[in-house]
Amino acid sequence: MENETCKAICRRFIQEIFNQGELSRIRDFLAADAWNHELGDDPAPPGLAPEYFADLIRLYREAFPDLQVEIQRQVAEEDQVVTCLRLRGTQKNPLLGIPSRGKAMEIEGVRVDRFVGDKIAESWFQWDSVGMLRQLGVLPNLWEGQAEPVVEPATAPVTVWYVPEPETAPATERRLRLVS
């Protein structure tokens, strides 16, 4: 299949599945035995890969109902397409046990899709999950050198703080120290 055709399929996949939430159409884009590495090291049960991936997308779309994925650029070579993305959304519902605080996130990611025919047969998706967790208020920003609460006092009896070890410690020995 031609590179431009594969890039167009990836663009439609992002628009229709991620942005519009048309999860019932996921089999239009993914092979039945597609391996989505973002789901872990083990492939989905035979024939159910599209549904497993749809469940993952559903999880994020429920937490971020206004989720929008914008394609920054694409490169295609042989049977693979690399897509650089920007993801934006406001957390309105819990995500994997992270309560919603109504905070917005904007992060970047890279998706690599390998094609067999006109279907995505294998994919990798790497994104700035640490940046997302910082923007949602779950992780502190260690570069500012100030501890930030991980749990707001109104939602927990004790506020937990993570404090970076002093700069005097060798870089390989610096750790986050839990204080309460």
The pLDDT value given to residue 36: 84
For 64-105, how does the pLDDT look when each residue is reduced to its tens digit (9 = 90+)? 999 999 999 999 999 999 999 999 999 999 998 899 999 999
Average pLDDT, the chain: 83
Q: Which residues lie below 8 Å from residue 172, measured CB to CB, with a gap of 6+?
A: none
Q: Which listed CATH number (3.30.300.130, 3.10.450.50, 3.30.565.10, 3.10.28.10) goes with 3-135?
A: 3.10.450.50
Per-residue pLDDT tens for 27-57?
A: 999 999 988 887 666 767 777 789 988 998 9
- In the chain, which ranges are continuous DSSP H helix? 3-13, 49-63, 129-135
Q: Is 23 exposed, middle or buried (0-12, 13-18, 19+ CB in 10 A)?
A: middle
pTM: 0.75
Q: Would the pLDDT of 167 be above 60?
A: no
| CA 88 – CA 106 distance, rounded (Å) | 4
CA proximity to 109, closest of 90, 132, 91, 92: 132
Share of the chain above pLDDT 90, in %: 62
Window from 17-31, 43-57, 122-136 with minimum mean pLDDT: 43-57
pLDDT of residue 145: 56
Residues 6+ apart with CB under 8 A from 96: 59
Helix (H, G, I), strand (E, B) or coil at 15: helix
Tens of pLDDT, residue by residue over 151-162, are: 554 454 444 444
Structure token pair of residue 141: 């920003």
pLDDT of residue 39: 62
Strand 119-127 relative to strand 30-36, pairing = parallel
pLDDT of residue 147 exceeding 70, the answer is no
Domain coordinates in residue numbering, the chain: 3-135, 142-179
Q: Where are the beta strands (DSSP E) in the chain?
A: 30-36, 68-77, 80-90, 104-116, 119-127, 161-164, 176-179
